[in-house]
Structure 1
Amino acid sequence: MVTCVFFHAHPDDEALLTAGTMARLSSEGHRVVLVVATAGEAGLVADGGNPGVLRRAELRSSAALLGCDRLVELGYPDSGLSGSPTGFSAHDPHEVARRLADVLHEEEARMLTSYDPNGGYGHPDHRQVHRVATLAAKLARTPILLEATVDRTWYARGLKAARVAGVKVPPDTGQVYSSSSEITHRVDVRPWLAEKRASMAAHASQASSRGGDTRTLAVLLRLPRPLFRLALGTEWYVRREMLAGSRMTHPLAELC
Protein backbone atom coordinates (compact mmCIF):
# COMPACT_ATOMS: atom_id res chain seq x y z
CA MET A 1 0.00 0.00 0.00
CA VAL A 2 1.29 3.46 -0.86
CA THR A 3 0.51 7.14 -0.33
CA CYS A 4 -1.07 9.02 -3.22
CA VAL A 5 -1.27 12.83 -3.17
CA PHE A 6 -3.93 14.62 -5.20
CA PHE A 7 -3.18 18.30 -5.87
CA HIS A 8 -6.05 20.59 -6.88
CA ALA A 9 -6.60 24.31 -7.40
CA HIS A 10 -10.02 24.88 -5.80
CA PRO A 11 -12.66 23.08 -3.75
CA ASP A 12 -14.86 20.96 -6.09
CA ASP A 13 -12.05 20.32 -8.60
CA GLU A 14 -11.33 17.07 -6.78
CA ALA A 15 -14.99 16.06 -7.09
CA LEU A 16 -15.14 16.56 -10.83
CA LEU A 17 -11.78 15.16 -11.95
CA THR A 18 -10.46 12.61 -9.47
CA ALA A 19 -13.11 11.72 -6.87
CA GLY A 20 -13.72 8.21 -8.18
CA THR A 21 -10.01 7.42 -8.25
CA MET A 22 -9.56 8.78 -4.73
CA ALA A 23 -12.46 6.74 -3.37
CA ARG A 24 -11.19 3.64 -5.16
CA LEU A 25 -7.66 3.94 -3.82
CA SER A 26 -8.93 4.62 -0.31
CA SER A 27 -11.22 1.58 -0.41
CA GLU A 28 -8.27 -0.58 -1.42
CA GLY A 29 -6.22 0.53 1.58
CA HIS A 30 -3.95 3.16 0.05
CA ARG A 31 -3.33 6.42 1.91
CA VAL A 32 -4.99 9.32 0.10
CA VAL A 33 -3.87 12.91 0.74
CA LEU A 34 -5.70 15.88 -0.78
CA VAL A 35 -3.81 19.18 -1.21
CA VAL A 36 -5.81 22.23 -2.35
CA ALA A 37 -4.16 25.51 -3.30
CA THR A 38 -7.00 28.01 -2.70
CA ALA A 39 -10.38 28.31 -0.99
CA GLY A 40 -12.08 29.12 -4.29
CA GLU A 41 -13.30 32.41 -2.89
CA ALA A 42 -13.44 34.06 -6.33
CA GLY A 43 -16.16 31.64 -7.42
CA LEU A 44 -19.86 32.39 -7.19
CA VAL A 45 -21.86 30.85 -4.39
CA ALA A 46 -25.57 30.27 -4.61
CA ASP A 47 -26.69 31.55 -1.22
CA GLY A 48 -24.39 34.48 -0.47
CA GLY A 49 -22.25 34.53 2.64
CA ASN A 50 -18.46 34.27 2.75
CA PRO A 51 -17.46 32.18 -0.28
CA GLY A 52 -14.09 31.13 1.12
CA VAL A 53 -15.45 29.97 4.47
CA LEU A 54 -18.35 28.14 2.85
CA ARG A 55 -16.26 26.41 0.22
CA ARG A 56 -13.62 25.30 2.74
CA ALA A 57 -16.35 23.64 4.80
CA GLU A 58 -17.66 21.92 1.68
CA LEU A 59 -14.13 20.76 0.87
CA ARG A 60 -13.76 19.13 4.27
CA SER A 61 -17.05 17.29 3.76
CA SER A 62 -15.99 16.10 0.32
CA ALA A 63 -12.61 14.88 1.59
CA ALA A 64 -14.28 12.87 4.34
CA LEU A 65 -16.75 11.30 1.91
CA LEU A 66 -13.90 10.19 -0.35
CA GLY A 67 -11.97 8.59 2.51
CA CYS A 68 -9.07 11.04 2.50
CA ASP A 69 -6.57 10.45 5.28
CA ARG A 70 -5.29 14.03 5.26
CA LEU A 71 -6.40 17.38 3.83
CA VAL A 72 -3.83 20.14 3.31
CA GLU A 73 -5.03 23.66 2.43
CA LEU A 74 -2.19 25.87 1.15
CA GLY A 75 -4.22 29.07 1.60
CA TYR A 76 -3.32 31.00 -1.56
CA PRO A 77 -5.81 33.57 -2.94
CA ASP A 78 -8.07 32.38 -5.74
CA SER A 79 -6.98 34.06 -9.00
CA GLY A 80 -10.37 33.89 -10.69
CA LEU A 81 -10.75 33.28 -14.40
CA SER A 82 -9.14 36.61 -15.28
CA GLY A 83 -6.02 35.93 -13.21
CA SER A 84 -5.63 38.29 -10.25
CA PRO A 85 -2.11 39.78 -9.87
CA THR A 86 -2.17 38.69 -6.22
CA GLY A 87 -3.73 35.28 -6.81
CA PHE A 88 -2.26 31.81 -6.68
CA SER A 89 -1.35 31.87 -10.37
CA ALA A 90 0.91 34.92 -9.82
CA HIS A 91 2.99 33.34 -7.03
CA ASP A 92 6.46 32.01 -7.71
CA PRO A 93 5.86 28.37 -8.69
CA HIS A 94 9.19 27.36 -7.13
CA GLU A 95 8.09 28.71 -3.74
CA VAL A 96 4.78 26.85 -3.91
CA ALA A 97 6.53 23.72 -5.18
CA ARG A 98 8.77 23.67 -2.12
CA ARG A 99 5.68 23.63 0.13
CA LEU A 100 4.11 20.82 -1.88
CA ALA A 101 7.41 18.91 -1.92
CA ASP A 102 7.48 19.14 1.89
CA VAL A 103 4.13 17.32 1.97
CA LEU A 104 5.39 14.71 -0.50
CA HIS A 105 8.46 14.14 1.70
CA GLU A 106 6.42 13.94 4.91
CA GLU A 107 4.07 11.42 3.36
CA GLU A 108 6.74 9.48 1.47
CA ALA A 109 4.34 9.77 -1.46
CA ARG A 110 4.83 7.51 -4.46
CA MET A 111 2.29 9.23 -6.69
CA LEU A 112 1.17 12.83 -7.29
CA THR A 113 -1.63 14.09 -9.51
CA SER A 114 -1.85 17.49 -11.19
CA TYR A 115 -3.48 18.83 -14.39
CA ASP A 116 -2.47 18.86 -18.03
CA PRO A 117 -0.33 21.84 -19.24
CA ASN A 118 -3.38 23.94 -20.18
CA GLY A 119 -5.04 23.29 -16.85
CA GLY A 120 -7.88 21.54 -18.63
CA TYR A 121 -9.79 24.56 -19.87
CA GLY A 122 -7.18 27.26 -19.31
CA HIS A 123 -7.96 28.55 -15.80
CA PRO A 124 -4.80 30.34 -14.59
CA ASP A 125 -4.84 28.54 -11.24
CA HIS A 126 -5.11 25.18 -13.01
CA ARG A 127 -2.13 25.99 -15.22
CA GLN A 128 -0.22 26.95 -12.07
CA VAL A 129 -1.08 23.57 -10.51
CA HIS A 130 0.59 21.91 -13.51
CA ARG A 131 3.74 24.02 -13.14
CA VAL A 132 3.96 23.59 -9.38
CA ALA A 133 3.33 19.85 -9.37
CA THR A 134 5.96 19.20 -12.03
CA LEU A 135 8.56 21.10 -9.98
CA ALA A 136 7.49 19.52 -6.68
CA ALA A 137 7.65 15.98 -8.04
CA LYS A 138 11.22 16.64 -9.17
CA LEU A 139 12.19 18.17 -5.82
CA ALA A 140 10.69 15.30 -3.84
CA ARG A 141 11.76 12.65 -6.34
CA THR A 142 8.19 11.37 -6.48
CA PRO A 143 8.28 8.59 -9.08
CA ILE A 144 4.85 8.97 -10.67
CA LEU A 145 3.10 12.16 -11.77
CA LEU A 146 -0.36 11.74 -13.25
CA GLU A 147 -2.03 14.69 -14.98
CA ALA A 148 -5.78 14.58 -14.40
CA THR A 149 -7.58 15.49 -17.60
CA VAL A 150 -10.55 14.60 -19.83
CA ASP A 151 -10.57 12.83 -23.15
CA ARG A 152 -11.07 15.72 -25.60
CA THR A 153 -13.18 13.59 -27.95
CA TRP A 154 -15.48 12.56 -25.11
CA TYR A 155 -15.71 16.19 -23.98
CA ALA A 156 -16.75 17.37 -27.46
CA ARG A 157 -19.42 14.67 -27.67
CA GLY A 158 -20.69 15.64 -24.24
CA LEU A 159 -21.05 19.30 -25.25
CA LYS A 160 -22.93 18.28 -28.38
CA ALA A 161 -25.31 16.09 -26.39
CA ALA A 162 -25.87 18.88 -23.87
CA ARG A 163 -26.76 21.36 -26.62
CA VAL A 164 -29.24 18.88 -28.10
CA ALA A 165 -30.79 18.63 -24.64
CA GLY A 166 -31.13 22.42 -24.51
CA VAL A 167 -28.40 23.05 -21.95
CA LYS A 168 -26.36 26.25 -22.38
CA VAL A 169 -22.72 25.21 -22.60
CA PRO A 170 -19.46 26.96 -23.57
CA PRO A 171 -18.26 26.75 -27.20
CA ASP A 172 -15.94 23.89 -28.06
CA THR A 173 -12.65 25.52 -29.01
CA GLY A 174 -10.89 22.20 -29.53
CA GLN A 175 -8.05 23.37 -27.27
CA VAL A 176 -9.26 21.95 -23.97
CA TYR A 177 -8.04 18.93 -22.02
CA SER A 178 -6.08 16.13 -23.77
CA SER A 179 -6.32 14.16 -26.98
CA SER A 180 -7.10 10.45 -26.86
CA SER A 181 -3.59 9.65 -28.06
CA GLU A 182 -2.03 11.45 -25.08
CA ILE A 183 -4.07 9.69 -22.40
CA THR A 184 -2.27 6.80 -20.71
CA HIS A 185 -4.78 5.88 -17.97
CA ARG A 186 -8.52 5.38 -18.29
CA VAL A 187 -9.65 4.48 -14.79
CA ASP A 188 -12.98 2.71 -14.35
CA VAL A 189 -14.63 4.30 -11.31
CA ARG A 190 -18.19 3.09 -11.87
CA PRO A 191 -18.32 1.08 -8.62
CA TRP A 192 -17.42 4.29 -6.75
CA LEU A 193 -19.94 6.61 -8.39
CA ALA A 194 -21.99 6.87 -5.18
CA GLU A 195 -18.96 8.39 -3.46
CA LYS A 196 -18.25 10.62 -6.45
CA ARG A 197 -21.83 11.88 -6.57
CA ALA A 198 -21.77 12.51 -2.81
CA SER A 199 -18.50 14.45 -3.16
CA MET A 200 -20.00 16.59 -5.92
CA ALA A 201 -23.18 17.18 -3.91
CA ALA A 202 -21.08 18.25 -0.90
CA HIS A 203 -20.13 21.35 -2.89
CA ALA A 204 -23.69 22.63 -2.67
CA SER A 205 -22.71 26.27 -3.27
CA GLN A 206 -21.39 25.26 -6.70
CA ALA A 207 -24.19 22.83 -7.52
CA SER A 208 -26.89 25.48 -7.67
CA SER A 209 -27.62 28.02 -10.36
CA ARG A 210 -27.75 31.73 -9.63
CA GLY A 211 -28.73 34.53 -11.97
CA GLY A 212 -29.52 32.12 -14.78
CA ASP A 213 -25.95 30.80 -15.04
CA THR A 214 -25.50 27.15 -15.93
CA ARG A 215 -23.22 25.48 -13.41
CA THR A 216 -21.34 22.32 -14.36
CA LEU A 217 -22.07 20.58 -11.08
CA ALA A 218 -25.74 21.51 -11.27
CA VAL A 219 -26.06 19.98 -14.73
CA LEU A 220 -24.16 16.81 -13.86
CA LEU A 221 -26.01 16.17 -10.61
CA ARG A 222 -29.34 16.40 -12.45
CA LEU A 223 -28.37 13.59 -14.83
CA PRO A 224 -30.37 10.36 -14.43
CA ARG A 225 -28.23 7.63 -12.89
CA PRO A 226 -27.63 5.72 -16.16
CA LEU A 227 -26.39 8.93 -17.85
CA PHE A 228 -24.37 9.90 -14.79
CA ARG A 229 -22.71 6.48 -14.95
CA LEU A 230 -21.97 6.93 -18.65
CA ALA A 231 -20.68 10.50 -18.30
CA LEU A 232 -18.62 10.13 -15.12
CA GLY A 233 -17.72 6.45 -14.91
CA THR A 234 -14.22 7.00 -16.30
CA GLU A 235 -11.44 9.30 -15.09
CA TRP A 236 -8.52 10.10 -17.37
CA TYR A 237 -4.83 10.72 -16.73
CA VAL A 238 -1.57 11.30 -18.57
CA ARG A 239 1.38 9.64 -16.84
CA ARG A 240 4.73 11.42 -16.62
CA GLU A 241 7.83 9.53 -15.55
CA MET A 242 9.68 11.71 -13.05
CA LEU A 243 12.60 9.36 -12.32
CA ALA A 244 14.56 8.19 -15.35
CA GLY A 245 14.41 4.45 -15.79
CA SER A 246 11.87 3.97 -12.98
CA ARG A 247 10.11 0.62 -13.27
CA MET A 248 8.15 1.00 -10.08
CA THR A 249 4.62 -0.29 -10.18
CA HIS A 250 2.02 2.16 -8.94
CA PRO A 251 -1.45 1.84 -7.44
CA LEU A 252 -3.26 2.58 -10.72
CA ALA A 253 -1.35 0.03 -12.78
CA GLU A 254 -3.90 -2.69 -12.22
CA LEU A 255 -6.84 -0.34 -12.75
CA CYS A 256 -6.13 0.69 -16.32
Structure 2
Amino acid sequence: MGRIGSSCDPRQVPYSLVSFHAHPDDEVLLTGGTLARAAAEGHRVVLAVATDGEAGLAAGRYRADGRLAERRRDELDRSAAALGCARVVRFGFPDSGWSRSEEPSANSFSRLPVDVVAAPLAAVLREERADALTIYDAAGGYGHPDHRQVHTAGLAAARLAGTPLVLEATIDRATIRPLIRLVELLPGILPEVRTSDYDAAYAATDEITHRIDVRRYADAKRAAMRAHASQASADEGARTLSLLLKLPAPLFRRVLGREWFVEHGRTTPTDDLFATLRARR
Protein backbone atom coordinates (compact mmCIF):
# COMPACT_ATOMS: atom_id res chain seq x y z
CA MET A 1 0.00 0.00 0.00
CA GLY A 2 1.09 3.56 -0.57
CA ARG A 3 3.66 2.58 -3.22
CA ILE A 4 1.93 3.65 -6.43
CA GLY A 5 3.90 5.39 -9.17
CA SER A 6 4.24 9.17 -9.17
CA SER A 7 2.17 9.50 -12.35
CA CYS A 8 -0.98 8.75 -10.29
CA ASP A 9 -3.14 11.52 -8.90
CA PRO A 10 -1.69 12.00 -5.38
CA ARG A 11 -5.17 12.59 -4.01
CA GLN A 12 -6.08 9.01 -4.95
CA VAL A 13 -3.00 7.23 -3.60
CA PRO A 14 -3.81 4.77 -0.81
CA TYR A 15 -1.50 4.94 2.18
CA SER A 16 -0.67 2.49 4.95
CA LEU A 17 -1.40 3.89 8.41
CA VAL A 18 -0.40 2.25 11.70
CA SER A 19 -2.08 3.67 14.80
CA PHE A 20 -0.25 2.83 18.05
CA HIS A 21 -2.13 2.94 21.37
CA ALA A 22 -1.59 2.00 25.00
CA HIS A 23 -4.84 0.22 25.91
CA PRO A 24 -8.02 -1.05 24.25
CA ASP A 25 -10.48 1.89 23.97
CA ASP A 26 -7.70 4.51 23.58
CA GLU A 27 -8.00 4.11 19.82
CA VAL A 28 -11.56 5.44 19.87
CA LEU A 29 -11.29 8.51 22.05
CA LEU A 30 -8.49 10.32 20.23
CA THR A 31 -8.37 8.76 16.77
CA GLY A 32 -11.56 6.76 16.14
CA GLY A 33 -13.10 9.13 13.64
CA THR A 34 -9.80 9.63 11.83
CA LEU A 35 -9.22 5.89 11.50
CA ALA A 36 -12.76 5.38 10.22
CA ARG A 37 -12.32 8.19 7.72
CA ALA A 38 -8.97 6.86 6.51
CA ALA A 39 -10.39 3.35 6.07
CA ALA A 40 -13.46 4.67 4.25
CA GLU A 41 -11.21 6.63 1.89
CA GLY A 42 -9.41 3.43 0.90
CA HIS A 43 -6.30 3.53 3.06
CA ARG A 44 -5.00 0.51 4.96
CA VAL A 45 -5.45 1.07 8.69
CA VAL A 46 -3.59 -1.13 11.18
CA LEU A 47 -4.30 -0.86 14.90
CA ALA A 48 -1.37 -1.70 17.21
CA VAL A 49 -2.05 -1.85 20.96
CA ALA A 50 0.65 -2.14 23.62
CA THR A 51 -1.31 -3.75 26.48
CA ASP A 52 -4.51 -5.71 26.98
CA GLY A 53 -5.68 -3.22 29.61
CA GLU A 54 -5.84 -5.79 32.39
CA ALA A 55 -5.23 -3.12 35.05
CA GLY A 56 -7.94 -0.80 33.75
CA LEU A 57 -10.96 0.35 35.69
CA ALA A 58 -14.22 -1.55 35.21
CA ALA A 59 -17.25 -2.60 37.22
CA GLY A 60 -16.86 -5.68 39.41
CA ARG A 61 -18.88 -7.87 37.07
CA TYR A 62 -16.17 -7.50 34.43
CA ARG A 63 -13.30 -8.13 36.83
CA ALA A 64 -14.51 -10.74 39.31
CA ASP A 65 -13.44 -13.80 37.33
CA GLY A 66 -10.01 -12.40 36.39
CA ARG A 67 -10.85 -12.26 32.69
CA LEU A 68 -10.84 -8.51 32.12
CA ALA A 69 -7.91 -8.72 29.70
CA GLU A 70 -9.71 -11.32 27.60
CA ARG A 71 -12.86 -9.21 27.54
CA ARG A 72 -10.93 -6.13 26.52
CA ARG A 73 -9.24 -8.02 23.69
CA ASP A 74 -12.67 -9.00 22.37
CA GLU A 75 -13.89 -5.42 22.76
CA LEU A 76 -10.89 -4.20 20.80
CA ASP A 77 -11.70 -6.55 17.92
CA ARG A 78 -15.27 -5.27 17.76
CA SER A 79 -14.11 -1.66 17.90
CA ALA A 80 -11.57 -2.21 15.12
CA ALA A 81 -14.24 -3.80 12.95
CA ALA A 82 -16.57 -0.83 13.49
CA LEU A 83 -13.78 1.55 12.43
CA GLY A 84 -12.83 -0.47 9.36
CA CYS A 85 -9.33 -1.46 10.50
CA ALA A 86 -7.67 -4.07 8.32
CA ARG A 87 -5.54 -5.61 11.08
CA VAL A 88 -5.16 -5.57 14.87
CA VAL A 89 -1.77 -6.22 16.48
CA ARG A 90 -1.49 -6.81 20.23
CA PHE A 91 1.92 -6.66 21.86
CA GLY A 92 0.73 -7.90 25.26
CA PHE A 93 2.99 -5.74 27.45
CA PRO A 94 1.88 -5.55 31.12
CA ASP A 95 -0.57 -2.73 31.78
CA SER A 96 0.89 -0.11 34.17
CA GLY A 97 -2.47 0.84 35.65
CA TRP A 98 -3.25 4.40 36.68
CA SER A 99 -2.78 5.55 40.24
CA ARG A 100 -1.81 8.97 41.57
CA SER A 101 -0.27 7.43 44.68
CA GLU A 102 1.53 4.30 43.43
CA GLU A 103 4.37 3.83 40.97
CA PRO A 104 3.89 1.25 38.20
CA SER A 105 5.64 -2.07 38.76
CA ALA A 106 9.11 -2.52 37.34
CA ASN A 107 8.02 -4.84 34.53
CA SER A 108 5.04 -2.77 33.40
CA PHE A 109 4.82 -1.24 29.94
CA SER A 110 5.69 2.26 31.07
CA ARG A 111 8.87 1.10 32.84
CA LEU A 112 10.27 -1.09 30.07
CA PRO A 113 13.34 0.09 28.13
CA VAL A 114 12.31 2.06 25.06
CA ASP A 115 14.18 -0.25 22.70
CA VAL A 116 12.27 -3.27 24.04
CA VAL A 117 8.97 -1.59 23.21
CA ALA A 118 10.09 0.01 19.95
CA ALA A 119 11.48 -3.15 18.33
CA PRO A 120 8.20 -5.06 17.78
CA LEU A 121 6.42 -1.89 16.64
CA ALA A 122 9.21 -1.17 14.17
CA ALA A 123 8.79 -4.72 12.85
CA VAL A 124 5.09 -4.04 12.21
CA LEU A 125 5.92 -0.74 10.50
CA ARG A 126 8.36 -2.51 8.19
CA GLU A 127 5.97 -5.39 7.51
CA GLU A 128 3.17 -2.98 6.63
CA ARG A 129 5.51 -0.66 4.73
CA ALA A 130 3.84 2.03 6.77
CA ASP A 131 3.60 5.51 5.32
CA ALA A 132 2.35 7.02 8.57
CA LEU A 133 2.25 6.29 12.29
CA THR A 134 0.01 7.87 14.92
CA ILE A 135 1.19 8.07 18.52
CA TYR A 136 0.33 10.48 21.39
CA ASP A 137 1.73 13.89 22.20
CA ALA A 138 4.75 14.23 24.50
CA ALA A 139 2.54 14.78 27.55
CA GLY A 140 0.83 11.47 26.95
CA GLY A 141 -2.42 13.41 26.72
CA TYR A 142 -3.44 13.68 30.36
CA GLY A 143 -0.16 12.21 31.61
CA HIS A 144 -0.80 8.47 31.86
CA PRO A 145 2.64 6.77 32.04
CA ASP A 146 1.66 4.22 29.39
CA HIS A 147 0.64 7.04 27.05
CA ARG A 148 3.98 8.78 27.53
CA GLN A 149 5.70 5.50 26.69
CA VAL A 150 3.65 5.25 23.48
CA HIS A 151 5.01 8.66 22.49
CA THR A 152 8.65 7.87 23.24
CA ALA A 153 8.70 4.32 21.89
CA GLY A 154 6.63 5.32 18.86
CA LEU A 155 9.19 7.93 17.83
CA ALA A 156 11.99 5.40 18.28
CA ALA A 157 10.16 2.78 16.21
CA ALA A 158 9.50 5.24 13.39
CA ARG A 159 13.21 6.06 13.27
CA LEU A 160 14.13 2.38 13.18
CA ALA A 161 11.66 1.60 10.41
CA GLY A 162 12.13 4.79 8.42
CA THR A 163 8.43 5.66 8.62
CA PRO A 164 8.18 9.06 6.92
CA LEU A 165 5.20 10.60 8.73
CA VAL A 166 4.56 10.62 12.49
CA LEU A 167 1.39 12.25 13.81
CA GLU A 168 0.80 12.87 17.51
CA ALA A 169 -2.85 12.42 18.48
CA THR A 170 -3.94 15.06 20.96
CA ILE A 171 -6.76 17.43 21.92
CA ASP A 172 -6.85 21.19 21.60
CA ARG A 173 -6.28 22.26 25.21
CA ALA A 174 -8.42 25.35 24.72
CA THR A 175 -11.34 23.12 23.77
CA ILE A 176 -11.12 20.62 26.61
CA ARG A 177 -10.35 22.86 29.60
CA PRO A 178 -13.81 24.52 29.74
CA LEU A 179 -15.38 21.04 29.68
CA ILE A 180 -13.12 19.91 32.52
CA ARG A 181 -14.09 22.95 34.58
CA LEU A 182 -17.76 22.09 34.04
CA VAL A 183 -17.26 18.47 35.10
CA GLU A 184 -15.31 19.57 38.17
CA LEU A 185 -18.36 21.54 39.30
CA LEU A 186 -20.52 18.40 39.24
CA PRO A 187 -19.57 16.46 42.40
CA GLY A 188 -19.40 12.69 42.08
CA ILE A 189 -19.65 12.53 38.29
CA LEU A 190 -15.95 12.07 37.54
CA PRO A 191 -14.24 12.44 40.93
CA GLU A 192 -10.72 11.92 39.54
CA VAL A 193 -10.98 14.92 37.20
CA ARG A 194 -9.30 18.15 38.31
CA THR A 195 -8.86 21.29 36.20
CA SER A 196 -5.27 21.72 37.41
CA ASP A 197 -4.34 18.36 35.88
CA TYR A 198 -5.06 19.80 32.44
CA ASP A 199 -2.99 22.97 32.63
CA ALA A 200 -0.24 21.29 30.61
CA ALA A 201 -2.20 18.36 29.18
CA TYR A 202 -2.57 17.64 25.49
CA ALA A 203 -1.51 20.48 23.12
CA ALA A 204 -1.86 24.23 22.90
CA THR A 205 -3.91 25.56 20.00
CA ASP A 206 -0.92 26.97 18.14
CA GLU A 207 0.88 23.60 18.25
CA ILE A 208 -1.88 21.72 16.43
CA THR A 209 -1.28 21.11 12.72
CA HIS A 210 -4.18 18.80 11.82
CA ARG A 211 -7.83 19.42 12.62
CA ILE A 212 -9.59 16.44 11.10
CA ASP A 213 -13.30 16.73 10.39
CA VAL A 214 -14.81 13.35 11.31
CA ARG A 215 -18.47 14.30 11.64
CA ARG A 216 -19.43 11.98 8.76
CA TYR A 217 -17.89 9.09 10.72
CA ALA A 218 -19.59 9.80 14.05
CA ASP A 219 -21.74 6.66 13.78
CA ALA A 220 -18.66 4.48 13.32
CA LYS A 221 -16.94 6.19 16.23
CA ARG A 222 -19.98 5.73 18.44
CA ALA A 223 -20.24 2.04 17.51
CA ALA A 224 -16.57 1.57 18.38
CA MET A 225 -17.10 3.28 21.72
CA ARG A 226 -20.06 1.00 22.47
CA ALA A 227 -17.83 -2.00 21.80
CA HIS A 228 -15.80 -1.13 24.92
CA ALA A 229 -18.59 -2.01 27.34
CA SER A 230 -16.25 -2.74 30.26
CA GLN A 231 -14.76 0.74 30.02
CA ALA A 232 -18.18 2.39 30.16
CA SER A 233 -18.90 0.58 33.44
CA ALA A 234 -18.28 1.51 37.07
CA ASP A 235 -19.38 0.33 40.49
CA GLU A 236 -19.62 3.97 41.62
CA GLY A 237 -19.91 7.27 39.75
CA ALA A 238 -19.65 7.47 35.97
CA ARG A 239 -17.00 6.88 33.34
CA THR A 240 -16.11 9.29 30.55
CA LEU A 241 -17.11 6.75 27.92
CA SER A 242 -20.56 6.20 29.41
CA LEU A 243 -21.21 9.95 29.61
CA LEU A 244 -20.22 10.46 25.98
CA LEU A 245 -22.41 7.58 24.83
CA LYS A 246 -25.42 9.22 26.48
CA LEU A 247 -25.12 12.31 24.28
CA PRO A 248 -27.91 12.63 21.65
CA ALA A 249 -26.61 11.88 18.16
CA PRO A 250 -26.51 15.52 16.93
CA LEU A 251 -24.64 16.64 20.06
CA PHE A 252 -22.31 13.63 19.89
CA ARG A 253 -21.46 14.58 16.30
CA ARG A 254 -20.80 18.16 17.32
CA VAL A 255 -18.72 17.42 20.43
CA LEU A 256 -16.72 14.54 18.95
CA GLY A 257 -16.75 15.58 15.30
CA ARG A 258 -13.17 16.81 15.20
CA GLU A 259 -9.85 15.19 16.06
CA TRP A 260 -6.46 16.84 16.44
CA PHE A 261 -2.87 15.93 15.62
CA VAL A 262 0.58 17.50 15.81
CA GLU A 263 3.12 16.97 13.05
CA HIS A 264 6.46 18.48 13.99
CA GLY A 265 7.98 20.55 11.22
CA ARG A 266 4.67 21.36 9.58
CA THR A 267 3.64 25.02 9.49
CA THR A 268 0.42 24.96 7.46
CA PRO A 269 -2.72 23.66 9.23
CA THR A 270 -4.70 21.05 7.33
CA ASP A 271 -7.71 18.74 7.43
CA ASP A 272 -5.82 16.11 5.41
CA LEU A 273 -4.03 13.52 7.54
CA PHE A 274 -1.69 12.65 4.67
CA ALA A 275 -1.10 16.19 3.34
CA THR A 276 2.67 16.04 3.82
CA LEU A 277 2.93 12.72 1.97
CA ARG A 278 0.83 13.98 -0.91
CA ALA A 279 2.96 17.09 -1.22
CA ARG A 280 6.08 14.96 -1.67
CA ARG A 281 4.70 13.10 -4.69
Cα offset, 1:227, TM superposition: 2.1
| Amino acid in the other structure paired with 1:74 | F
Q: Quick check: 1:145–1:241 contact (8 Å CA) kept in 2? A: no
Alignment match, 1:51: 68
Alignment match, 2:93: 76
Q: Give distance in 1, aligned partners of 2:31 and 2:247.
A: 19
Q: Quick check: 2:184–2:194 contact (8 Å CA) kept in 1? A: no
- TM value normalised by structure 2: 0.83
Could you report, residue by residue, the CA deviation over 1:109-166 in whole angstroms, capped at 9, with x for unpaired residues? 0000000111001111000000100001111111110000011111112223435666
Could you report, residue by residue, the CA deviation over 1:17-49 in whole angstroms, capped at 9, with x for unpaired residues? 101000000001000000000000001222233
1:123 to 2:144 alignment? yes
Q: Quick check: 2:212–2:273 contact (8 Å CA) kept in 1? A: no
Unaligned runs of 5+ in 2: 1-13, 267-271, 277-281
1:60 to 2:77 alignment? yes
Alignment match, 1:171: 194
| Amino acid in the other structure paired with 1:81 | W
Q: Which runs of 4+ in 1 moved over 4 A?
A: 163-166
SS in 1 for 2:96: coil
Q: Quick check: 2:184–2:195 contact (8 Å CA) kept in 1? A: no
1:139 to 2:160 alignment? yes
| Amino acid in the other structure paired with 1:71 | V
Q: Give distance in 1, aligned partners of 2:125 and 2:164.
A: 11
Alignment match, 1:246: none
1:158-237 aligned within 5 A:
158-163=179-184, 167-168=189-190, 170-173=193-196, 174-210=199-235, 212-237=236-261
Cα offset, 1:240, TM superposition: 3.0
| Amino acid in the other structure paired with 2:93 | Y
Q: Give distance in 2, aligned partners of 1:136 and 1:157.
A: 35
1:10 to 2:23 alignment? yes
Q: Give distance in 2, aligned partners of 1:231 and 1:87.
A: 34
Q: Give distance in 1, aligned partners of 2:57 and 2:44.
A: 32
| Amino acid in the other structure paired with 2:255 | A
Q: Give distance in 1, aligned partners of 2:148 and 2:181.
A: 26
Could you report, residue by residue, the CA deviation over 1:159-184 in whole angstroms, capped at 9, with x for unpaired residues? 23435666435111212111101111
Alignment match, 2:9: none
Q: Give distance in 2, aligned partners of 1:35 and 1:90.
A: 19
Equivalent in 28, 36, 46 of residue 41 of structure 2: 28
Instruction: Classify 1:178/1:251 alpha carbon distance in 2 versus 1 (closer, same or farther; 3 Å).
Output: closer
Instruction: Classify 1:251/1:122 alpha carbon distance in 2 versus 1 (closer, same or farther; 3 Å).
Output: closer
Q: Give distance in 2, aligned partners of 1:160 and 1:13.
A: 22
Instruction: Classify 1:214/1:223 alpha carbon distance in 2 versus 1 (closer, same or farther; 3 Å).
Output: same
